[in-house]
Each structure stands twice: as structure tokens, then as C-alpha cells.
Amino acid sequence: MREKVAYGLVALAAIILAVNFYRIMLVLPDDAMQGPIYRIIYFHVPAAITAFTGFFVALILSAWYLSSGNMAADSLAASVTEVSLVFAVLNLVTGSIWAHVIWGVWWTWDARLTSMLVCVLIYAGYLMLRQAIDEPTRRARLAAALSIFGFADVVIVWKSIEWFRTNHPQPVLSVRTGGGHMDPRMEAALYINLLALLLFAAALTIVRARQESTAREIDSLRRYANAY
Amino acid sequence: MRLVKQALAVARKDLSVELRTKESLNSAGAFAIVILLLFSFAFDPDAEMAQELSGGLLWLVFAFAGALVFNRGFARELPNECLDALLASSVSSAGLVLGKAIASVGILLIIELLSLFVFGIFYNKQWWAHPAELAAVFVLASWGICIVGAVFGALTVNLRLRELMLPVIIYPLLLPLLMAAIELTNRLLANQKIGDSDWLWARVLIVFDVVFTALSMLLAEPILVN
Amino acid sequence: MDARNIAFMFYGLLTAWLIVACYVVSLARRGARLKKELDDVKQLMNANAGAGTEKQTARR
């Protein structure tokens, strides 16, 4: 049943992306100042939002695990974090390519890029910690603690670096500026892409979480087999 | 407050052990001086640029030396099952973590003072221009480093690759704290006026300390107790 | 400038999809490996159970 849900989500995401892709490439006009390269924003920004949504969901799941001891929460938290990490890396890479065209450098130590890199490092550390612990309950507990600390740090990192002067493009989405900075058609396309990416991320998370519980099942079967 | 009394008891124990054996002080102190020496080869100490990098240099040294200090924090309880004894005692997990952090801060501050002396000599810097502000920055930032180090030291104490995992996990978390400390130290060492942006960084230091101390107290129990 | 712009846009989008594709492939491979491992362990358990009952009947 879970596989069907996952496939359904992927199919839906694929359809949305395909339709939107047509609009992005052929219907919408170029950005007045940047030219065609700006279209990367349609993946760059939704990837970032997806990643942070995932990290936040992981925070909730981790807190839930610590209070309830439900191992499914732990599996889901690990899966969500891993998938979100992929989208965060995607954000960094697309941002880097965009920066190369616009600013002429592959990397610059501006606020948002640095913050995102810090996030990637923190959650890569989370995955490394999970790999280093064999015992499932202990792994779940410590990973949950790190997830909570990690998200608190992400918030502090973002707010503190935002105070620093930045040459990253200023917020253009209506939710942050109250409208008027971005053509509404472009903004709509961005949000549609965001929906598609969120669905895709959800599908990947379901698949990954399934693998986590399979791994746990194997582990418990092995222990049982060794005991007799 | 019971928590504070327990924490101070643990800290007193750790500090008296440390002052007797001086293992962390010696190793971390020697490490700090060696790194300062190495950096003097990497950058010409007389150059203008080196003067501007002084904050970053100092806090890198303190971050690395601090890793040596809080690595020992929980690891020293492993032989003879002292950690189990501590957990079984009436000391709460939060008190244990807090006490370890206090002891680490004490040791780290001694090392920082020593490094500052050596730094002043190697790089010809007068660092005593704003002693009160510098002390405040050092105490706040060192507390941030040590409380995170204590919690994650507890978290990784039984791991196979503890010495490797601990720095890898902690340094990304400490980045905002280190950034703030570096900025403020740079301003204070360069004897410049304290501006608005400096108060922003001071606020980052304080918020970081408050948030992470609170989180550490809350999560100490799940982390330590099996 | 404009042609280079478009080229980089395609590289950018291509890279994005490559990253996602790599992850999906690694996920699929991990799934296959886990499934095989699960089947192996189940087979091992059945073999053990069979051998156990054989030993019991032989002893009797």
C-alpha cells in the first residue's frame, strides 16, 4: 500500500513538473536584468524550502521520539533528514552555477550560501552519527538529540548571518515582501514547482522510511536466529 | 538551587583532578602554542593582514584546544565505570553536564589567557586595551563552546570513533558562536569603536548561550541515561 | 553572452536532475540489497528451524 502511495506521489509530482517546465521554459519571459539563467530559481528556491521543511519535520519527529519512544518516528526522522539533505545540496549546487554566470565566481562567502553550507554540514554529521552507532535504541535517542540541537542552530545561523550585509538577491517572494517585487506569474510558477518538489520529497521519504524498517526487521531476525 | 549545587560539586571534582594531573592543561596549552607558532609561518606576523586576522586566528586556536579539553571531559569517566557510578548517584544528568561544562570553561579560560600572552608577544599586539569587554566576550564564547562540548561529549562517549566524531559534529554547530566571537575580538583587539553591528554579534553570543544551555539541560537526561 | 547564459542554465538544470537521479538510484540499490538480505535471513531461519526439528526427531 505504501509503495502505491509513493508511486502515486511521484507520478503526480512528475506531471506537475512536466507541465510547469513547459511554462517555465517557453511561456514566461526572461528576467529583465539576468537573462535566461534566472530560471534556475524555479528549482533553487523550492529546493531550499523543501529542505528546511524536511529539517523542521525531522525536529518534530525527533521530539516525538524522545517523548514516546516510538521507533517509527525515528525511522521517519532519519529518512526525512536524508532526503532534505539531498535537496539542500541541490540548492547549493544550483546556486553555485547561477553565481558563476551572474557574479563570475563559483562560490562566495555571502550570508545565505554560508548558512546553507552550515546546515548541510550539521545534517551530514547527523547521518554520520547514525552510521557510527549500532544499537538501535541508542542510535535513535542520540540522533534525536542531535536533530533538535541542529535545528536550533540552523535558526540561529540564519538569523545571525542575515544581519550581516549580503549580496545574495534580496527576498522577492510576496510572503516576505508584501508583494510587488516579482511578476505574479513567475511567483506562481515557483510555488507550483515547490509543490511538485514537496510531493517528490514526500515520496522519497516514504520509500526511505520503508527501507529503515526493513533494516530493523533484518536486525531483529538476525538476533533471533543467533539466539537459537 | 539543587541543580547548581550538584553542578558545582561535579565541577569542583573535575577541576581538582585536573589541577593535580594537569593533563588537559598541558596538552591543550602546548597544542595552542604550537598552532600559534604554525600560523606565524603561514602568515607573516608583521603584515597588516595578519593584524586583521588576529580574531580568527585566536578563536581557531581556542576551538581546537577546546576540543582537546572537552574530549577528556566525559572520556575520563569511562575507566573503572565511573560514569555509571555518577549516573546512579543522586546527581541529575543536567547537573552532571553543567558541572562538566563549568570545569571545561575553567580550564579553557586558563589556556585562553596563556594563548593571549603568547599571541601578544609573537604578533606584537597590545590586547589589554579593553579588558572588561574582552573578558566578557571570552567568557561568553568559551561557555558556548564548553556547554555544546559537554553535551556532545556525553553523547559520543561510548562511540568507537569518539575523537573523530566529536569535532565533526560540534564545529558546524559552533559556527555562529565562533563567527560572533571572531568579529568582536577583531574589533576589540584593533582598538576600534564599538558600533551597532558589534552589539548584534554580542546578542548572537548571548542568544546562542541561552538557547544551547537550555536545550542541554532539557536533553541531558535522554542523552545520558540508558 | 546570452548564448552562454542559456547553456549554463541547461547545465544547471541538468546538474540538479543528475543529483536527484543519483540519489534515487542509490535508494533503489539500497532497497534491492535490503530485500535480498531479508530473504537470506528468512531462508537461514527456515533452515535452522528445519534442522532443529530434525535433531529433535533423531534424538528421540
Name the minimum distance, in Å, from the CA of C33 to any CA of chain A: 10
Average pLDDT over residues B81-98: 87
b/e burial code for range B97-115 (CB count within 10 A of at least 16 → b): bbbbbbbbbbbbbbbbebb
Which residue, among B173, B174, B211, B212, would best test binding to A if mutated, counting the most A CBs under 10 Å from its CB?
Answer: B173
What type of residue sits at position A71? M
- Look at C38 and A40 and tell me if their CB atoms are within 8 Å: no
Average pLDDT over residues B196-207: 83
Give the integer Cα–Cα distance in Å for A157 and A81: 18
- Cα of A169 vs its chain's centroid, Å: 20
Give the integer Cα–Cα distance in Å for A97 and C9: 8
The number of folded domains in chain A is 1
b/e burial code for range A174-184 (CB count within 10 A of at least 16 → b): eeeeeeeebee
Give a yes or no: residue A172 inside a domain: no
Give a yes or no: residue A105 inside a domain: yes
Range name among A5-19, A193-207, B3-17, B172-186 with the lowest pLDDT average: A5-19
Give the integer Cα–Cα distance in Å for B116 and A33: 50
- Look at A156 and B176 and tell me if their CB atoms are within 8 Å: yes
Give a yes or no: residue A219 inside a domain: no
Is residue B11 within 8 Å of B103, Cβ to Cβ? yes
- Cα of A78 vs its chain's centroid, Å: 13
CATH number at A113 reads 1.20.120
Checking if the pLDDT of B160 tops 90, the result is: no
Is residue B150 within 8 Å of B70, Cβ to Cβ? yes
- Look at C30 and A211 and tell me if their CB atoms are within 8 Å: yes
Range name among A23-27, A191-195, B33-37 with the lowest pLDDT average: A23-27
Give the integer Cα–Cα distance in Å for B155 and B223: 6
Dig out the grid coordinates for A84 from the structure.
532534505
Give the integer Cα–Cα distance in Å for A182 and A45: 14
Range name among A16-30, A186-200, C25-39 with the lowest pLDDT average: A16-30
Q: pLDDT > 90: what percent of chain A?
A: 28
Q: Which residues of A touch B179 (CB under 8 A)?
A: 160-161
Range(s) of the domain holding residue A142: 2-29+36-166+177-214
Dig out the grid coordinates for B153 from the structure.
561529549
Range(s) of the domain holding residue B130: 2-224
Residue of chain B minimizing CA distance to A165:
B197
Give the integer Cα–Cα distance in Å for A178 and A93: 29
The number of folded domains in chain B is 1
Q: Which comes out higher in pLDDT, residue C46 or A1?
A: C46
Instruction: Using CA atoms of A7, A13, A14, A20 in order, give the dihedral in degrees to the nearest 10.
Output: 170
- Look at B172 and A122 and tell me if their CB atoms are within 8 Å: yes
**Chains in contact with B via at least 3 Cβ–Cβ pairs below 8 Å:** A
Give a yes or no: residue A204 inside a domain: yes
Dig out the grid coordinates for A181 from the structure.
517585487
Give a yes or no: residue A18 inside a domain: yes
Please name which of B150, B186, B188 lies closest in space to residue B170, comparing C-alpha atoms: B150
Instruction: Write the Ramachandran bin of A107: left for phi over 0, alpha for psi from -120 to 50, otherwise beta.
Output: beta
- Which runs of consecutive H residues, i.e. helices, occur in chain A? 2-22, 41-68, 71-102, 111-132, 136-163, 174-177, 184-227
Give the integer Cα–Cα distance in Å for A187 and B31: 53
Query: Per-residue confidence at A174, pLDDT binned at 50, 70, 90?
Result: very low
- Look at B219 and A148 and tell me if their CB atoms are within 8 Å: yes
pLDDT at B1: 79
How does pLDDT run across B117-137, given as a tens digit for each residue?
988 888 877 777 788 888 999
pLDDT at A177: 47
Give a yes or no: residue A228 inside a domain: no
Is residue A113 within 8 Å of A107, Cβ to Cβ? yes
Give a yes or no: residue A221 inside a domain: no
Name the minimum distance, in Å, from the CA of C32 to any CA of chain A: 10
ipTM of the modeled complex: 0.84
Q: What are the φ/ψ torsions at residue B195 (nearest 5 degrees)?
A: -105, -170
Give the integer Cα–Cα distance in Å for C16 and A94: 7
Q: What is the DSSP letter of B89?
A: S
Give a yes or no: residue A41 inside a domain: yes
